Amino acid sequence: MTADQWTRRQVLNTAAGTAALAGTSALMAPGVAQAHGGRPDPRGKLRIIAIEEAVILPGLLTQGTALNGAIPFKPEVTAEWFKRLPDVTEYRLADMDANGVAMQVLSLTPPGVQMQPDTAIAVRDAQVANDALAAIVDAHPTRFGGLAALPLQDPQAAVREARRAMGDLGMAGFLVNGHTNGQYLDEPQFRPVWAALEELGAALYLHPTPAPAGTWGLLKDRPELVGPLYSWAAETGGHALRIILGGVFDDFPGARLIVGHMGEFLPYHAPRLDVQIRNINTRVPLRKKPSEYLRENIAITTSGVMDDTMLQAAIESVGIDNVLFAIDYPFEKSEQAVGFLRGAKLSFHDRRKIAAGNAERILKL
């Protein structure tokens, strides 16, 4: 590692302390919320890191986003998203400052490189995307972190890119946009990737993307069910469950998966999983109950689920140390997400864990 690379990583590792000074004006925006028990929670004392924040990056040969599919989004809504997705400084930083967000951890908007059928292009685009993301973080080391893309079309190339992204580029971890052309992360060809992630101590964020082409009768004549209203959560939660049932966490007990949107149904389904797993002949014998993997290997984020009842249930299911804050910018409103965090029925200690502490620990920010 060169001296310049080491200096950059030192800067990233000290970002938490620096941002407290550099972002003082942002964090001191007016207003307070009530913590559990009615105690005031002053804005200036809460550092907020949002970790599922999408960006469109320049120079990619792979074109298109999940917004161009069959989901009937309103045109005026997608127009606003497309205005904000490629931006870093004009709209994004202003939005962060207005809402007291110290840092966004950026990642390539879905479906990213996962949709690319040409392996060589996928490998090239992951490198280009990660270089562009690293440049953004270099320019604003106290305001942005990055989750690197992985070209899983070639697992060995993905391992090489994982090592480069962590070692040379100083990325905080990785984000994969769902399946890779219909292939899922429990499949045997991805074991070397999991081994590298465990060795690197790097978390992998599993983000929703459209399901593979095919017919799902449930969605027939109901395009509203495609996407964030239902199918993305079912697809992503099922993908995470495949990883559990495939024995990935038995083979790599140090591996860490992050699942957004309050766990994509899984925390609320955990009791039934534990009961029914006793009745099913699993293809891979598991050493633990599904709920134990949820608490030991999986973290969840609050992105897009701004409800205190759901938050309390998720904390009970996966544990306070496994819940991280996310906005899902620009697809969700920062004001609403931050307001939910500040007003949730949490102690000061637990609120700080969700707001930033857990992200700092898991992503080594």
Q: Following DSSP, what letter does each residue of 43-58 receive, concatenated? A: GGG---EEEEEEE--T
- What burial class does residue 299 get, using C-beta atoms within 10 Å of its C-beta: 0-12 exposed, 13-18 middle, 19+ buried? buried
Render 110-168 in DSSP notation, one character per residue.
TTGGGG---HHHHHHHHHHHHHHHHHHHHHSTTTEEEEE---TTSHHHHHHHHHHHHHT
Contact indicator for 174, 204 with CB cutoff of 8 Å? yes
Q: Is 221 one of the annotated active-site residues of the chain?
A: no
Handedness of CA 320, 324, 325, 327 (dihedral sign): negative
- CA-to-CA distance for 119 and 271, rounded, in angstroms? 40
- What Cα–Cα distance (Å) separates residue 280 from each residue in 22, 203, 243, 247, 294? 54, 30, 17, 15, 19
| Peptide linkage before 330 cis (omega within 30 of 0) | yes
Cα 124 to Cα 217: distance, rounded to the nearest angstrom: 37
Which of 125, 186, 328, 350 is flagged as catalytic? 328
DSSP assignment string, 278-291 = GGS--SS--SS-HH
How many whole angstroms separate alpha carbon 338 and alpha carbon 97?
Answer: 12
What separation in angstroms does the CA of 294 have from each of 99, 179, 303? 31, 20, 18
Task: Please check whether residue 135 is in contact with residue 82, taking contact to mean a CB–CB distance below 8 angstroms.
Answer: no
Please list the active-site residues.
328
